[in-house]
Amino acid sequence: MPECPELHLAGRYINRACGALVFSGGVERSAVGRGPEVPFSSEAYRISAAARGKELRLTLTPLGFAGAPQELVFRFGMSGSFRLCSAADIPRHAHLRFRTRDSPPHVLCFVDARRFGSWRLGDAWQEGRGPCVLSEYQAFRENVLENLDDRAFDKPICEALLNQKFFNGIGNYLRAEILYRLKIPPFEKARTVLEALKEQERRRKNPSLTLSKKLKLMRENPDILELCHTVPMEVIATEKNLYDADHPDNYTAFKSWLQCYLVPGMSSLRDRNGRTIWFQGEPGPMAPKGQAPRKKRAQVESDPEAVTPNVPPRALRRCPRAAAKPPVPAEEEEEEAGDGPRKGRARRRRNAAAAPALPAPEAQVKAERRRSSARRGRGTAPAL
């Protein structure tokens, strides 16, 4: 799922790619987009973007005095992104489209294959979200340390890190990387972890310390709130949209950057919200009861000299997709889809259990009829 680095990179991409472009006409919406129609049209307007936490705001500004700007706030869901392309190459799942007036025209598209992303009209950020861990770091830090009595901090630290009221922009992969670097058990109580920062904060505000000494202390002993800022900044520093489907090398670079999330050898557990947390070592005193940590195994790389088994053509005809597309790793699919109830399997088991058994004579008659039909199909006369 795109987290605050991906939203900020999307904002940079829009400002760079569209800064010199002039757009024209109305905003086109697909029939299945999860957002309202945009009541805006202009003969000439520009587009700019700004990100905050897990939200991105687009501003459509008419040129001259042709009307008031229109603003939209986006949430990317599981797979949302923006893409500028030619009008002839609009991608599938482009749910909102902005056309330029140049020739040939280009289109800025909000693309979301899984359709969890959405947008709303207006410039207001979502109510209840705290300061952004990236762009509003000092306000974010104060908001956490001044509200440690909140019930949100009665929970394990891994669950508190996903609370957007205090950690706006942190998601599943970031929380795993932050806790791993500080060697904090994910199921340690959040208040226990964060209250220790108050004393550290007082030491840093000591007037006898020079600015250089304060900076040295911060570099040598970063705390969890600082890593909520610096770890996302590492992703942004790559200047790559790691979720860009058109550039699979970006995702390869992302996987090599990860130290804990989905990394072989790391353990995982489901938190009380059903999200998988990756960690190393002990889970902590608030770990869910009845769960045993699972360890990710290293995937064996295929041997290029290995003999490829001969697959019968008939088997390929039965499932051509399996031959053409490798299976999705189970861990990544779980992160995307969650651990929802498997209704189909349960229904089949219930039907099987509820089906009444046939009486013995009737079952024998039906079995004999099937055998007779099979013999006639092979051209063999039944025995008299």
- Whether residue 104 has a cis bond before it, omega within 30° of 0: yes
Specify the DSSP element, H or E, that contains 12. Answer: helix 4-18
> Cβ of 356: how many Cβ atoms within 10 Å?
5
> Considering 6, 28, 39, 54, which one is annotated as catalytic?
54
> Considering 3, 6, 71, 136, which one is annotated as catalytic?
3
CA 45 to chain centre: 32
**368 given a catalytic annotation:** no
CA atoms within 13 A on the CB side of 223: 17
**320 given a catalytic annotation:** no
Closest Cα to residue 137, out of 236, 7, 237, 225?
225
Specify the DSSP element, H or E, that contains 376. Answer: helix 360-377
**2 given a catalytic annotation:** yes
Helix (H, G, I), strand (E, B) or coil at 10: helix
Bridge partners of 74?
Answer: 56, 119
Whether the Cβ atoms of residue 152 and residue 165 lie closer than 8 Å to each other: yes
d(CA 380, CA 308): 40
The residues that are catalytic are 2-3, 54
